[in-house]
Amino acid sequence: MEVDKKKYEEFVKEITPTHSMFKNMAAAFLVGGSICALGQLSINVMMSQLGMDQETAGVWMLLELILLSIILTGLNIFPKLVQFAGAGALVPITGFANSVAAPAIEFHAEGEVFGVGCKIFTIAGPVILYGLLSSWLLGVGYWLLQWLGIL
């Protein structure tokens, strides 16, 4: 059966979703900016109200954003936020927390070991693996440059 190229191209054009780049950029900016503003507000409150130094407040803020991301993932709100804002919601720390929590929630019915234990790092595993490998290689390179007296 011969497929007419013109009809096929029309079909593909018809079913391919169209996106407004301006709308996508605005949504990503608003949501990503809101997440960052929430993090900065958290740091400011912890420094002024709790007397924390900036580094300690920053660590606690990261933990708060991770927890918030996991809770929103569990309530099925985070995927909707990502669908609306795209990369704006996938600010590294919240997106990484979502990528670990989502498979754990999805495969929980298969049990603790074969469900959660095996599937929890399905998405995040390669990120962790290549992050560790590249940091190790960069560390060895830095050490060699220091040993050779270049740095």
DSSP codes of every residue in 5-42: HHHHHHHHHHHSPP--HHHHHHHHHHHHHHHHHHHHHH
Q: pLDDT-derived band of residue 60, with 50, 70 and 90 as boundaries?
A: very high
Q: Cβ distance 74 to 102 under 8 Å? A: no
Provide the domain limits for residue 96.
Answer: 5-120
- pTM (2 decimals)? 0.69
Looking at the domain assignment, is residue 21 inside a domain?
A: yes
Q: How many domains does the chain have?
A: 1
Looking at the domain assignment, is residue 129 inside a domain?
A: no
The Cα–Cα gap between 38 and 93 comes to 13
CA R_g for the chain: 22
Q: What local confidence, expressed as pLDDT, does residue 93 receive?
A: 86
Q: At what angle do helices 21-49 and 54-74 cross, to 10 degrees?
A: 130
What Å distances lie between residue 89 and 17, 35, 70, 78, 116, CA to CA? 21, 8, 13, 8, 24
Looking at the domain assignment, is residue 20 inside a domain?
A: yes
Looking at the domain assignment, is residue 96 inside a domain?
A: yes
Looking at the domain assignment, is residue 89 inside a domain?
A: yes
| Token duo for residue 73 | 């993932």
Residues 79-137: tens digit of each pLDDT: 899 889 988 888 878 888 888 888 877 776 777 777 667 777 777 778 788 889 999 99
* Segment 33-41 mean pLDDT: 94
Residues 8-24: tens digit of each pLDDT: 888 888 888 888 889 99
Looking at the domain assignment, is residue 149 inside a domain?
A: no
Q: pLDDT-derived band of residue 68, with 50, 70 and 90 as boundaries?
A: very high
pLDDT at 1 over 60: no
Is the Cα torsion angle 124, 29, 57, 139 positive or negative in sign? positive
Q: What local confidence, expressed as pLDDT, does residue 49 receive?
A: 96
Looking at the domain assignment, is residue 137 inside a domain?
A: no
Q: pLDDT-derived band of residue 41, with 50, 70 and 90 as boundaries?
A: very high
Looking at the domain assignment, is residue 131 inside a domain?
A: no
| Token duo for residue 94 | 């919240």
